[in-house]
């Protein structure tokens, strides 16, 4: 196999549930050695989360399986004096540490950045939290839906009938994790040039807001509040979801020539010169009059036929798939977005692979999500702990 881009980089992963594990997952898929430091007996809360009770009872819940490929699991009680000393030895040889506790937790454990940088000045310490390490809300608890609400993200979803509306997956957690992974890579690049480690403060609230850049710009620059428009695209018309003979279709006629092609394909050439629809900004204002005219024609054929016709005529369009169908579509299979991974005691399960395609340094799943404490003996042996010492640590519930 080709050399991986983060081969030789050691990451201590103290994270739980989603934002932190999603960040370290990407480092692991790129070849970093990610050592998941978990609480003895229970581990990451995500081990108990998911729809399959038997897997939750095995501490291998579907939520955990989804985010933890290529990682090693070590259990360590960092509240104990001996656990702290072992942890500091692990830090000495680490390149990166990632945690997503509330601000102040690591300092209270006497394992905060100021302590650890004395042991390892080159350490890159990334703290991921809901609101960041400072500010009036820093100490508040944060879950994805809380951040969705506070960011304005829920307020821009839905329509006049259903608003506010949360996104159907934990988008703030996921984006916070991606932002953390991006920042860690940048910090590693800086250290490569200067030798300096540093502290990185990632807030989920900060991370999600730039994703609304276009919507926010209309408010910040033009003082236009967003109007919840459901499945319509606020930048153009016709651009959104439309009914067909057998379901729905997405049409994105964002350019004038695409709008004119829609008229031609649907057999409505007269709309091109209709003063209500002739120009882009006027069409946007009159979309409620336009949509029924288009849907009357769209109702005459199935979604698949319209997709082929519109795309062939330069109008971006597509079916609206169920998640089940989306995961099985030929393009996703071609891109190997999912990979079948054998997990002992569970069988083969499909997991998301690295979705960035590197020509020289490809990354992919090379090992399954770990059972709790599966690598404790291996990792601690690397810092000189003997089998007898390990047995004693187990007896004391330190590992």
Angle at 303 between CA 300 and CA 306, to 5 degrees: 75
Which of 386, 399, 346, 352 is CA-nearest to residue 370?
346
Among 69, 96, 128, 73, which Cα is nearest to 9's?
A: 96
Count of other CB atoms within 10 angstroms of residue 199? 17
Rg, the chain, Cα only: 25
Contact at 8 Å (CB) between 20 and 100? yes
Known active-site residue 173: yes
Indicate which residue of 95, 144, 173, 232 is catalytic: 173
Return d(Cα 391, Cα 399) in angstroms, integer.
9
Active site residues: 173
């Amino acid at each position: 196999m080709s050399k991986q881009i983060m081969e030789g980089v050691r990451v201590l992963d103290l994270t739980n549930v989603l934002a932190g594990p999603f960040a370290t997952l990407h480092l692991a898929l790129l070849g970093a050695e990610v050592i998941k430091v978990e609480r003895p007996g229970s581990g990451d809360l995500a081990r108990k989360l998911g729809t399959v009770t038997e897997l939750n009872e095995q501490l291998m819940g579907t939520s955990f399986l989804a985010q933890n490929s290529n990682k090693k699991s070590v259990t360590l009680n960092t509240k104990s004096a001996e656990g702290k000393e072992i942890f500091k030895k692990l830090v000495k040889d680490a390149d990166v540490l990632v945690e997503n506790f509330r601000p102040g937790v690591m300092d209270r454990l006497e394992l905060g950045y100021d302590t650890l940088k004395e042991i390892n000045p080159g350490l890159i310490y990334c703290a991921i939290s809901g609101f960041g390490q400072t500010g009036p809300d820093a100490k508040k608890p944060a879950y994805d839906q809380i951040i969705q609400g506070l960011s304005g993200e829920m307020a821009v979803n839905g329509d006049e009938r259903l608003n506010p509306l949360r996104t159907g997956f934990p988008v703030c957690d996921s984006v916070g994790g991606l932002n953390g992974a991006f920042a860690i890579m940048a910090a590693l690049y800086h250290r490569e040039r200067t030798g300096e480690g540093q502290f990185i403060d990632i807030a989920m609230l900060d991370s999600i807001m730039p994703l609304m850049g276009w919507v926010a710009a209309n408010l910040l620059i033009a003082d236009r509040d967003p109007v919840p428009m459901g499945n319509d695209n606020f930048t153009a018309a016709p651009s959104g979801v439309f009914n067909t003979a057998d379901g729905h279709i997405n049409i994105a006629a964002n350019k004038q020539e695409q709008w004119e092609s829609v008229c031609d394909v649907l057999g409505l050439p007269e709309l091109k010169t209709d003063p209500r629809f002739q120009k882009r900004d006027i069409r946007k204002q009159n979309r409620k009059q336009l949509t029924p005219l288009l849907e009357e024609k769209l109702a005459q054929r199935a979604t698949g036929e319209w997709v082929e016709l519109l795309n062939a005529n330069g109008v971006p369009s597509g079916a609206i798939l169920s998640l089940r169908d989306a995961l099985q579509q030929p393009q996703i299979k071609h891109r190997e977005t999912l990979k079948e991974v054998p997990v002992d005691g569970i069988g083969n399960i499909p997991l998301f692979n690295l979705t960035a395609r590197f020509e020289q340094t490809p990354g992919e799943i090379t090992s399954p999500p770990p059972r709790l404490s599966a690598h404790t003996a291996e990792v601690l042996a690397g810092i000189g702990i003997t089998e007898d010492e390990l047995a004693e640590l187990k007896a004391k519930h330190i590992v």
